[in-house]
Structure 1
């Protein structure tokens, strides 16, 4: 066995003969014996070689055995190493003193060498078993109390530590603060770029938050040893983090930390070939005003965080009592949405898409609406974000797909060959069985695939272009029409756009203008039209509200027009009478 892999034992005795006999007795193929002729040398040898066991004679020059034992036990690396003291046979006082300074065992003189060898082997085995147990305990503690992805303390550890933090704050009459941080639209990054990119982003966010705490003015007034008692950064799983500040002079210090966190997110995160910009929304609750225990502080900081999101994101909000009412409304809305999905209150409305050449309706876009049983209508911008945050977006998307295909089949049976366009969320598109779901729905509704159009946003299809090309080809092979929605708002690569098996570019309403608009705006629309022409793609222009907007589009082939000029989104029964109408007169200026 190579020397560097042997178990090291340190023997310290000022008697050369005793050291030689110990060397002969203990050394083997597995054990290397180190020697020290005095106490000072023993300390040096321990610090240099970190032996697995130490034999110390009590009476030695420079430092006696007791002093060496105390010194080693004070070191972090020496807390658990076995130390055997060699004492006189009748010296009970030395034996008691050995244990009091931290010795593991003692050997009385004169030494019985065979017994010493066996005792050393036994203690080494026990020490190894103890070390394994300690290692397992540390690993279990890490698994239980630390987030596996970021390495940060998790919710359990924070709740455990908060008891002592808050007790200290009460004793010293400190204010304390809980900052609840949520990453804005993180699910969209996960859905569009993939979970591996999302995980890398979370690790980088955790690192940046740690750097922010080290550099913060609030923490610079305390020493490094006090940093963790003054502030603890924790991961609550997923895209949620907390910072607990336990020693504040006033609540404005919490505001400074929140401002610094938001400022630190301005710099993009570099993730492989991507540069990702993400923003935090932060809710702040103050101890003791907003809660006197961990649960209430966390709950109220979480409530304030949602208020920050509603205020536009990338900001912070302090908790106020009135926020609980808003949070209750939001929770009720989520519960009502779950019920609405089962009770038939969620239905698609349809907005016509007019052929610019003939003036006839050739297709419609399905737009989801919530019609509560008690009357009225809940707009999509109120419930779609909740659906995305709670995972209900998949159920909602499937419902719209199924309803739309049934409706298109019903119109077909009535003699109207109308294509229906259904929006596909990033989360739906990334489902491994999405193509099979579409195929099954078409078969169940007995709808020709050419009468279904799937609309995907530019950012979704570009998130993982190579992989998404495969999925788009699978969908295209079903015979459906594929459209890129909100075109011009994302980051398409022309080289990839040519590879995608898409049929239609849908110009975002933000770009719709007329001949009197700024030249730059007109140039953007004309560039998109030229691109569509070169790639032999159809074009849908949405957001048409005035006839003048059509003038700059007239040269386009395969052009469809959509907007309030022709019709608002309507229930299916109100669309049916429009299918026989011609809208050419709306386009005459």
Structure 2
């Protein structure tokens, strides 16, 4: 809290000035004194005021003497002092200012002026005090920084010398006369001496080794330091070969740099030599690994691509005519499967060697990967396509003689040679480069298309690329474009897979499964186009069509006295992009389906991502009367603990748990746990992917409610499903289902312990 001292020998003045002083600032303490002596005594006890207001003429010590005494104390140099006096002559004002007064006011005092001057002076004093404290702190920090810097510099010099001595590089500095002024330990040891013995001695004339003319280092820009400062360029930087004390040749990267800032006018020369022998060997090894196939030793895909790119570039000239041949060995998988992969590897090496032998003029012969090889040949004739065919015949005929398997790389040198042979042929794809717009990827893609065409023709032949091959690939791209109008073009159809009551064997439900029937009659499964539909948002109108068509069909079956529950898959995208509640309600109203005959299937990921939000949406759907099922349960993020939290009517156990149910105790335990828990939670269970009667019998004994799968029926058109209700399927499985029922009720033995 700030303190203002009032000094006046008149009590009335002290009272008035005290009241005015309290208006200068909030949270202010005001002390009044009847004499200067009393005030000084109070100040000497440690109560230092932030501002003093004093009368000039007082009994005893007057204002001038009081101010002078006040200014002599160290803490009061900057304390503002306002002098109040009734004397108007200039001499009194000067006397007050000489004594150290900061400002003065004439009595009788104007109250507003008193408060304003007090505020200004107090604010200025406070600012000056803070600035002085900050300046003092900065001076202290600066002094500490200088001391720390000097200490750090001294230590860093010592550490630098220690570090240079431990660096695995030969470092030395020589003066203009060629004498050593510094030698690190590595340099001294290489000369079989010590740094102390070499310092001051002339550098030996044969210090430099044999320079590698092809490995000189070029500096493209002036070097800079780690902080961006410019540094003088090295006089020389080069690789040199030096013979060590044992007679072995070592490769060094050497740099020579003038050292500025030395005591003499002539600069010192710093010479640094780093042993890069191992680095050079590693570079050569990496180059081999990067551009050579590890099995055959021939150029790899990267090397082949770079070779093609170099031909396309042509160093600014017109690129030459050439052909790319892509070979794929026929039935090579059979060789690996019957003879083993080690034999297959030896066959690949034998093929590579023969191709290099029969094509000595090839620009490149290499292995693209697996059992594929790439060959680039220059075409010099007038008819490049005919020439390419002729060369392809040469390559194909090279596969007529059997290939010697040869020795295994791991075979001992003294072991007997393996004289076994293997017969194989090749499918060859050819693309002739003549268009300047072609790229490496384009040529490889086209050669691959042609090779695949040769492969589908039976192998042991060649095909020349033609643009019709690209048309087939474009057809695949057209699927994505055709999705834009798939609903309006009436190409979507539904098939239905029955869901069977495992107790009675009756069909009690069907699952609607989407198919896309192309104009050419091709029937596409959802996996080929639904992911694209979800990415583009077309899944919303497609799902609306599916839901509408499935409900319409259910109503039509009901009119034929076929009572069946209709299950429809709902994409998770709808829960994020559409009003699923209104969508389902509109379909119910439009088709007239009884909501209790509708079941909506969703995947786990839709429900687990945000359980609370999902439950609210599911609850709204169930209010319409529709049931909700979790499809493919157990394959996603859900666990059994989620069952009690989800607002659902049914789970559908995924096929992956059923595939090995007869022989897998762990799968049996999992499925049994799911069924038991769902029974306690009053959640129905349907098992997907039932393909064998043993699976159906086991599930029936576990009191699983329903099942579906190829054992009962594959997905069928609507008319076939109607027939199944009236014909043989019910009769065919009646006896078997009764046995399942008897076995379940009698507690028959399970398939596995």
TM range (shorter): 0.3 to 0.5
Larger radius of gyration: 2
Q: For CA contacts below 8 A with separation 6 or more, give which structure has more relative contact order.
A: 1
Give the structure-2-normalised TM-score.
0.36
Q: Going by fraction, where is helix more abundant, 1 or 2?
A: 1
Give the structure-1-normalised TM-score.
0.45
